[in-house]
A = this chain, B = another copy of it.
Amino acid sequence: MKPLKRLSRELVYKGAIIDLYRDKVQDQDGHIQDYDFIGHKGAAAVMPVTDEGKIVMVRQYRNALDRFTLEIPAGGLNGVDEPGIVCAARELEEETGYKSDELEHLITINTTIAFCNEKIEIYVARNLQKSKQNLDEGEYVDVEEYAIEELVEKVYNTEILDAKTVASIMAYYNKFGR
């Protein structure tokens, strides 16, 4: 099997957090089609685990879904060169008010590969120390703690739908949960 061949990539819109491109792509039979491509600088996320084994989650309003969601803390990299572990530690402190010097890689995901290169590195954070929340302007989150078994149940009953959160809960439960 051969790769598709990209003939051109043209920026058609520069957004607030994403850039949209129109690609001309040639398939193995020589046909040329337009593909959407969204360039994203990458992100990191973290599953913070308290000394009692509870998972620290954030609840916030998501404009793209028109509803509140329950998620693990996450945020965009400060530029494509920022290490994911540095971003994860920062977002942990900013969103939950906990610090950790004990971050361990869990999984990495590409969120939506049909049209976007967004990659999220996901860490488990332990040995949480109380610090203070420091949200971005316009960012409002509630911090809530759950047992991992409660979160697993919320995935299977479709109460939690966010892909990074679903993948992390399941990957954590498989590795550490029992």
Contacts and interface: CB of A to CB of B under 8 A. Distances in A.
Contact of A15 (B3, B36, B107, B137): B36
Interface residues of A, number: 69
Given A63-B25, A161-B109, A142 B37 contact: no
B113 A27 contact: no
Contacts of A161: 108-110, 119
A162 interface: yes
Interface in A1-54: 1-4, 6, 12-13, 15-18, 20, 22-23, 25, 27-29, 31, 33-38
Contact of A36 (B6, B16, B112): B16
19 contacts: A3-B66, A4-B63, A6-B63, A15-B115, A16-B34, A25-B63, A38-B64, A64-B116, A69-B113, A109-B166, A110-B161, A111-B112, A112-B163, A119-B161, A155-B171, A156-B171, A163-B163, A167-B167, A174-B174
Interface of A: 1-4, 6, 12-13, 15-18, 20, 22-23, 25, 27-29, 31, 33-38, 59-69, 71, 107-119, 137-138, 140, 142, 152, 155-156, 158, 161-164, 166-167, 170-171, 173-175
